[in-house]
Structure 1
């Protein structure tokens, strides 16, 4: 049986893979997109039921298709986002094959390209794009042992409050996922404890503009990474039509804030003493954005309403002024813990040289620096702050498609025969 061949094999049919297919298709580059489940599967089965996009519909989309029948300012529900990518793939005629698992990618011997083992046979590809995104392997810190008798799950396993046993809930991690899940649980009548670490906390709206607009005009989406910046948690929410995440307000409404989860011993969980510092970090980020926005309005003479109240920071609630450094879980009736603690990457299926010993890809702006022909797409801060967002990955895909096209042109080049030297 002949081996199937393609110029580019794209692994993953989420937002990254569909964007990649669009740009390769425009350039006339033959390619396949393999997806182990369904298009945009993680939006469907690895998110909680009430999740909506963290940005408005006018911004969190690809340029070629709007969300049908929705206000540009709406925050789109997760299943509708997955449907959007299915429609987009159909609109493109993208060569997506669902239900196909990629096992191993190895370099071909003595000729360019790669041998790709899949659940449906071997494919040979001139280039491979790992479009598996930033949310690959959920991380649960080894702090609370299973024998503690507490229901524990990563945020990818949480669906709704009814899934959890009766009792209080500890949410660990105060980024977008942790903040939103904690608020949902509290609104449903649960006693909620939220462990907060360092974070950025932008305003949801300011002076009649959404924060995605402000980050755009202030050129913050195109910021390149600085050491450590890619690890800063981003606390933002599109829930309830979009709200600024304000941890002090949540505490005033009944949530108990804690420092970072530290260690567990005989039923008691300890927390670091840096809660106030973490909140202050978020406040500085928040106020800095407001100031830059005000300066931008003044400099450009924009007629946008002032919001002096937005600059007011609420007083520290008691749980911040007098931080709780340890909790006896049983005494607080904490019966479940949700770990909103991020992800690690898994590129073990790629050639060993494509990643370091910790599994992190060796790349420059998505182009492998050690395995020519291997590409990465959808990584946080791949080229800029917006790289892992829906609109950002579309632009990164264009750059990778352009790089692939240039490399193919070099490989296809045949030198002209040198002219004969004229003799006298």
Structure 2
């Protein structure tokens, strides 16, 4: 029989979500272990580009009993400052983390609880928390294999700086938060940049004297739970609004970048040799992003009016550029494109979890992180409860809720046993 160390709780994932749950379990005195595949906060430290910074203001960093206490609450921490903040949080309570430990299988234990197999020994536990996030497998479409091998392909998780890209132009694919920031990173470095524009929405940065996220927080937008959301399926699956915290923070209007020389196309639809095809949806995607942008401004305007707030006025939004035609195919050689940078997201990998906690599409099923399988939980995912659930803003509330559930179950089991 395989020897197993028993812990009341096993947490898989040593990022901010897993360690936030660990923080509260430590306060409760509940024995547990955190199993981390790499080092603590690996993704923040190793999977970000050099100029990476927060998109939301520093004041939203609210880890358990460890809020941001720096001198720039309305600024945006850069990568090293983020990891310093996270390391300081971990040092504040010394979580029981086993690093470089890959969990290879989780299954139900006969009679109750769970069996956890890992690269550094095996465990049994009464309860399990999955805190691995949703960034396991970088998404690259199958037709990428048809692109001529002379053209370098890279995913955003590998990108660090413009000098990594070969001489010549780069096509950035995707306009979520990462895509637009990588486009800007290359553009500011003087590189020739092409951008495939997807359907991601955009948001204002500063509006009527304040950061738009400050207004939205004041308006209660971030307190809306997934159960209260008018369209929960859309909320869970839609791409985040794009803007940036770079150089003090600013909004990103792709039309302005087009005027500065960035070549814009619609969504990529295929590749063949040195030819790349696009859908004729560039103008529609730009218009949809602007509609989201204006909608946020309008909501802030209404809030200001309804509450008689004294705030400076802003000029009406104007579209400064529009495509003269929809380009549906380009020749990379003719355009001088020598590289493609994929920024279309990630998929989680739950293949190692042999517990019935997923729907037909492989997505975890839970209510505020609590699964129907007794003692099984998820944390750190977007819209676990609110918009902030997958971010620094909401992780304290979510981790405390799960820790309360875990602690109550552990105490109940002790009472039954006695």
Indicate the TM-score class for this superposition, using the shorter chain for normalisation.
Answer: over 0.9
How far apart are residue 146 of structure 1 and its match?
5.8
Aligned partners of 1:53 and 1:60 also within 8 Å: no
Aligned residue number for residue 320 of structure 2 = 315
How far apart are residue 270 of structure 1 and its match?
0.9
Distance 1:142 1:277 in 2: 25
Aligned partners of 1:258 and 1:323 also within 8 Å: yes
Distance 2:374 2:324 in 1: 54
1:187-230 deviation per Cα after TM superposition (whole angstroms, max 9, x unaligned): 11111111111122111111222122122122222332522332
Q: Structure 2 matches for 1:75-154, cutoff 5 A?
A: 75-110=76-111, 112-145=112-145, 148-149=148-149, 150-154=151-155
Aligned residue number for residue 421 of structure 1 = none
Aligned residue number for residue 378 of structure 1 = 380
Bigger shift: residues 359-368 or 254-263: 359-368
Instruction: Classify the secondary structure of the residue corresponding to 2:388.
Output: coil
Aligned partners of 2:154 and 2:340 also within 8 Å: yes
Unaligned runs of 5+ in 1: 417-424
Q: Structure 2 matches for 1:214-233, cutoff 5 A?
A: 214-223=215-224, 224=226, 226-233=232-239
Matching of residue 355 in structure 1 with residue 367 in structure 2: no
User: Please, what is the CA RMSD of the aligned residues?
Assistant: 2.0
Unaligned runs of 5+ in 2: none
1:69-108 deviation per Cα after TM superposition (whole angstroms, max 9, x unaligned): 5411221111221221111011022222222221211111
How far apart are residue 177 of structure 1 and its match?
0.2
Aligned residue number for residue 346 of structure 1 = 349
Aligned partners of 1:174 and 1:233 also within 8 Å: no
Distance 2:136 2:215 in 1: 30
Query: Per the alignment, do residues 266 and 97 of structure 1 end up closer, same or farther by CA in structure 2, a change over 3 Å counting?
Result: closer
Aligned residue number for residue 408 of structure 2 = 406
The TM-score, its normalising length taken from structure 2, stands at: 0.93
The TM-score, its normalising length taken from structure 1, stands at: 0.91
Instruction: Classify the secondary structure of the residue corresponding to 2:326.
Output: coil
Aligned partners of 1:347 and 1:355 also within 8 Å: no
Aligned residue number for residue 335 of structure 1 = 338
Matching of residue 55 in structure 1 with residue 56 in structure 2: yes
Instruction: Classify the secondary structure of the residue corresponding to 2:389.
Output: coil
Query: Per the alignment, do residues 379 and 146 of structure 1 end up closer, same or farther by CA in structure 2, a change over 3 Å counting?
Result: same
Aligned partners of 2:108 and 2:355 also within 8 Å: no
Instruction: Classify the secondary structure of the residue corresponding to 2:72.
Output: coil
Instruction: Classify the secondary structure of the residue corresponding to 2:59.
Output: coil
Q: Which has the larger radius of gyration?
A: 1
Query: Per the alignment, do residues 68 and 294 of structure 1 end up closer, same or farther by CA in structure 2, a change over 3 Å counting?
Result: closer
Distance 2:198 2:402 in 1: 35
Instruction: Classify the secondary structure of the residue corresponding to 1:135.
Output: coil
Aligned partners of 1:230 and 1:380 also within 8 Å: yes
Query: Per the alignment, do residues 415 and 106 of structure 1 end up closer, same or farther by CA in structure 2, a change over 3 Å counting?
Result: closer
Query: Per the alignment, do residues 100 and 144 of structure 1 end up closer, same or farther by CA in structure 2, a change over 3 Å counting?
Result: closer
Distance 2:325 2:195 in 1: 15
Matching of residue 38 in structure 1 with residue 53 in structure 2: no
Instruction: Classify the secondary structure of the residue corresponding to 1:331.
Output: helix
Bigger shift: residues 177-186 or 74-83: 74-83
